Amino acid sequence: MESIQIKSWPYAQYLAAFLIAVGISITLWYVVNVIPTLEAIHAAPIFDKLLSTNLLILYVHIATAIPPLALGLITFSVRIRKFYPKVHRYIGTVYCACVWCSSVLGMLLASANQLGLLAKLGFGTLGFMWFLTTTMAYIKAREKQFPQHRRWMIRSFALTLAVVSVRPMFWWPPSFMDFYDWYVIATWLCWVPNLIIAEIYVRCTTTTGEYNKSFFTSNIFISDIGHSRQN
């Protein structure tokens, strides 16, 4: 099996480029077909009376949040990771770059949210945690601490999925609540459950996805920032 490792497969770069192009194509479709239908009221006023700048920041934030949805799934492919590690690295690097861009702009947008401190903190904390988990995943990969890298990537992708979970919350708010009250709740609800589920998952599974028998005797909130025990 070792004979099909990436160093003996000359088309790895082309496969990586193709997969990245798919993610970019999805993003361009979204930008062309969906973003123009968004109402300006959904954009946080970053600069007073500068709507074009405001919308540009919002559009770039959304556009760079879309590719990680596809690229993140590809990075979890065991076959690509095992037999084509360079493809995995290329795609992972693009994933990180997109997340870093989108998360920073997300924090900027959150700081200008008009629905109060809780809404600012909701989206702002999401942006910070998304940036942090992705950065830690990148650092652990560079350090070749792959069990920790896996755990941080699961956390990162769980936060990436907030891009998906937040939209239905805004499209179909509960009828018994005022929309703006629900909006504030949604700024937390779109990502906190994702992160909790991801944290439970990384603590109750090994690096191969098998059940971790020591789960119930370990603290699931212990940080992976340091060099932790490898499963």
pLDDT-derived band of residue 3, with 50, 70 and 90 as boundaries?
Answer: very low
Length of the chain equals 231
pLDDT-derived band of residue 52, with 50, 70 and 90 as boundaries?
Answer: low
By mean pLDDT, which of 52-66, 114-128, 139-153, 180-194 is the weakest?
52-66
pLDDT of res. 188: 93
pLDDT of res. 215: 57
pLDDT of res. 29: 65
110 neighbors 123 (Cβ within 8 angstroms)? yes
| Mean pLDDT within 122-133 | 95
Q: Which residues contact 89 (CB under 8 A, 6 or more apart)?
A: 141
pLDDT of res. 2: 39
pLDDT tens digits for range 168-204: 887 787 888 888 888 889 999 999 999 999 988 888 8
- The verdict on pTM exceeding 0.85 is no
For the cut 80, the answer to whether the pLDDT of residue 230 exceeds it is: no
Q: What is the mean pLDDT of the chain?
A: 76
pLDDT of res. 25: 64
